[in-house]
Amino acid sequence: MHYPNGKKNNGMKQVSAANRSMKFSNRGMTLEKDINTTNTFYWDTNKAVIHKKPTPVQVVNVHYPKRSAAVITEGYFKQPSTTDYNGIYRGRHIDFEAKETRNKTRFPLANIHYHQISHMKSITAHGGICFLIIRFSAHNETYYLPAESFFPYWDEQFNEGKKSIRYEAIKEKGYKIPFHFQARVNYLTIIDQLYF
Give 23-50 pLDDT, tens digit per residue: 433 444 589 999 999 999 999 999 999 9
pLDDT at 3 over 70: no
For the annotated binding site for Mg(2+), the residues are 82, 84, 97, 116
Who has greater pLDDT, 18 or 61? 61
For the annotated binding site, the residues are 82, 84, 97, 116
Per domain, the residue ranges of the chain are 28-53+81-195
pLDDT at 11 over 70: no
Report, as an integer, the average pLDDT of 148-154.
96
pLDDT at 154 over 80: yes
pLDDT at 75 over 90: no
pLDDT at 120 over 80: yes
Report, as an integer, the average pLDDT of 138-164.
94
Q: Comparing C-alpha atoms, which of 163, 171, 124 is closest to residue 143? A: 171
Q: Does domain 28-53+81-195 have CATH number 2.30.29.30?
A: no
